[in-house]
Amino acid sequence: MAVESLQRELGRAVRAIGADPDTRVGLERARDPEHGDWASNVALTLARPLRRKPREIAEEIVARLDTDAAGVRSVEVAGPGFINFRLAPEALIGGLAEIVDADLAFGRSEDGQGEPVMVEFVSANPTGPLHIGHGRQAALGDAIAELLAWTGWKVSREFYYNDAGEQINRLARSVAARRAQLDSPSAPFPEDGYHGDYVSEIASRFPGGPAASEELRAFAVSELRAEQDRDLSEFRVRFDRYYLESSLYTDGRVQDTIRRLREAGRVYEQGGALWLRTTAFGDDKDRVMVRSNGEPTYFLADVAYHLAKWERGFRRAINVQGSDHHGTTARVRAGLQALGLPRGYPEYVLHQMVTVLRGGQEVKFSKRAGDYVTLRELFTEVGVDVARYFFLMRRAEAQLVFDLDLALDQSDKNPVYKIQYAHARMHAIFRRAGLPMSDVAAGTVALLRQPAEVELVKVLRRLPETLAEAAARHAPHLLCKYLEEAAAAVNAWYHTGNRDESLRVLGVEQDLSRARLLLARAAAIVLRNGLSVLGITAPERMEHAETLT
RNA sequence: GCGCCAGUAGCUCAGCUGGAUAGAGCAACGGCCUUCUAAGCCGUAGGUCAUAGGUUCGAGUCCUAUCUGGCGCGCCA
């Protein structure tokens, strides 16, 4: 690739002027086209160690560059001492064949080298329908997992079921109370019970009698798990494994974790409880592992669970959780460090809350769940593609405002449709031409000289680096931004044909038409691959409301 | 009180390890339809980057303090 040879050549010139051989030679895409294609600030960073003026250093580096070797058309020193490079047009256009040859694999890389990584997400308690916060987490976790898969990691998606705690007892009491009310309506309902209509629904579906409390509890949990599974499945999120908290107790992992922490000498007794000295690893207070009544804490199970991840061979584990859990991250990591695991294990992606807006007003309630909006209600109204995209288009750490009015808009104002339309337009060209896309695998790309064409090629080639950065930073929103930019470039190119027929793909001289078809195919590949990473469909033809009715 | 996240255009938000005049979408304003689908396109306007200091050749980005919003600080999960 031209950029890598440019980087090497630049490094050679930097050493040639007597700079430290370890100097980091920055080379990045110029933000402003005025500054060429690539720019280096190396002369500025060398100014201090060399005690010389940046521009002088830049001039000297440029004088020693062999630009022919790097496919560079021109070099200039600009501003305070930047070195700007313009690539030869052939070097830019040459990337088109790469996209089409790779096709479904375009954008994939091998950074992960097939190493295993676990992404744990959703992990909702089986006590009610999934809400929009879970939706954000489902979309985020799935996209992060897919980004890692695209960058060469062997990814496992896991859901941790907190099926062992007090909240399950609460659920059981709530359903039992509703069941009793079927026989005598004045029967009491627990103060801390779950109030949503779904509790009554489960109670009325329960086939057993009023006294069967164990069966009722199991029934309620399995009903809610089944409902969550249906929601997630329709939201197009699948897991490789569901890990039950209860299994940590039955298979001895919890007891084993206590034993090992004791052996590590990080444990002490106080007030009849067993404590772990997490403050030794940066926590702000020590934590109870076993209560004075002999019951282990949730925290202990959490440590046991993450130890199990490590011992199952996952040297990387990423937990996607709501930011309301941020208090637990320090103590879980501390517990794991006490057992000899590395400091940053696991990695956390903590996302902020979601609010739903309709007509500028916040929507808070749901018919079934009572006090929150469910994921199902949301994706039923706006569609899975739109819901997933809206959950992903903001950084996880920022609060998310889900604008229903924009989500329901089916024009290009809605970023999801904008990208999908751009993709469908490329297919429309091929339909009009009567050609399958796969028939166009080569062309005289040197004929692509129009500004909109060159610009589009430049954008399309950035997919691999965008995926790599989004994966490294656990940040799917970077891919959303990129796809919107790519769609804008596709639309801009496509519409140049509106004003000037000589710029169209079809109806122009054959070699030129062929080259433009190749560009259209490359555009479709980039948009489709990018959307697939986000779990969003790339339709070849868009149907819209007016024509459906 | 302590901790985590955030504060950038009227609104919703980008801004990569500090780098060249701060970007996008929506809303606003002005143009463009016998189209490879105008469900659109082109253009214009709009910002003391919460505030005050500091580090630096250079700060939206790093440090300190303050203000505002969200979340968390249990022998709950």
The nt closest to A546 (CA vs C1′) is B39
CA distance A530 to A190: 49
Give the residue with minimal CA–C1' separation from B71. A324
**How are the residues of chain A apportioned to helix, strand and coil, as percentages rounded to the nearest 5?**
55, 15, 30
* Nucleotide B11 C1' to residue A207 CA (A): 52
* Nucleotide B44 C1' to residue A500 CA (A): 24
* Nucleotide B57 C1' to residue A367 CA (A): 62
Q: What is the DSSP string of A90-151?
A: HHHHTHHHHHHHHGGGTT---TTTT-EEEEE-----TTS--BHHHHHHHHHHHHHHHHHHHT
Residue A145 lies in a domain: no
* Nucleotide B35 C1' to residue A496 CA (A): 11
Question: Which residues are within 8 A (CB) of A488 and not within 5 positions of it... i.e. 6 or more apart?
Answer: A418
Q: What is the DSSP string of A21-50?
A: TT-----EE-SSGGG-SEEE-HHHHHHHHH
Give the residue with minimal CA–C1' separation from B5. A397
Residue A502 lies in a domain: yes
Residue A471 lies in a domain: yes
Distances from the Cα of A288 to the Cαs of A245, A303, A331, in angstroms? 18, 12, 11
Residue A460 belongs to domain spanning = 410-546
CA distance A469 to A464: 9
Residue A143 lies in a domain: no
The CATH code of the domain that includes A26 is: 3.30.1360.70
* Nucleotide B1 C1' to residue A140 CA (A): 35
Here the ipTM equals: 0.92
* Nucleotide B4 C1' to residue A283 CA (A): 13
Question: Which residues are within 8 A (CB) of A480 and not within 5 positions of it... i.e. 6 or more apart?
Answer: A389, A392, A393, A415, A534
Residue A533 lies in a domain: yes
Residue A191 lies in a domain: no
For A46-99, write each residue's pLDDT tens digit.
Answer: 877 777 778 888 888 888 888 776 678 888 888 778 888 887 767 667 778 889
The nt closest to A165 (CA vs C1′) is B77
Domain final residue, candidates A70, A87, A104: A87
Residue A18 lies in a domain: yes
Chain CA centroid to CA A77, Å: 39
User: What are φ and ψ of residue A37, in 5° steps?
Assistant: -95, -40
Instruction: List bases, strand B, within 7 Å of protein CB.
Output: 2-6, 12-17, 19-21, 23-27, 35-42, 57, 69-77
The nt closest to A78 (CA vs C1′) is B20
Domain final residue, candidates A39, A64, A87: A87
The nt closest to A350 (CA vs C1′) is B5
Domain final residue, candidates A36, A58, A87: A87
Domains of chain A: total: 2
For A375-431, write each residue's pLDDT tens digit.
Answer: 999 999 999 999 999 999 999 988 888 988 888 888 888 999 999 999 999 999 998
The nt closest to A353 (CA vs C1′) is B70
- Per-position pLDDT tens, chain A of length 549: 467 778 888 888 888 887 777 777 778 877 776 777 888 888 888 877 777 778 888 888 888 888 776 678 888 888 778 888 887 767 667 778 889 999 999 999 998 999 999 999 999 988 999 999 999 999 999 999 999 999 999 999 999 998 887 888 889 999 999 999 988 899 899 888 888 899 999 999 998 776 667 888 899 999 999 999 999 999 999 999 999 999 999 999 999 999 999 999 999 999 999 999 999 988 888 999 999 999 999 999 999 999 999 999 999 999 999 998 988 998 999 999 999 999 889 999 999 989 998 887 888 878 787 788 999 999 999 999 999 999 999 999 888 889 888 888 888 889 999 999 999 999 999 988 989 999 998 888 888 888 888 888 888 988 998 999 999 999 999 999 999 999 999 988 988 887 788 888 998 899 999 999 999 999 999 999 999 999 999 999 887 543 332
Give A346-349 contacts, CB < 8 A, sequence gap 24+.
A346/A120, A346/A306, A346/A309, A346/A317, A346/A318, A346/A319, A347/A316, A347/A317, A347/A318, A347/A319, A347/A474, A348/A318, A348/A319, A348/A321, A349/A140, A349/A144, A349/A318, A349/A319, A349/A320, A349/A321, A349/A396, A349/A474
* Nucleotide B71 C1' to residue A372 CA (A): 18
The CATH code of the domain that includes A456 is: 1.10.730.10
Residue A429 lies in a domain: yes
What's chain A's Rg over C-alpha atoms? 29
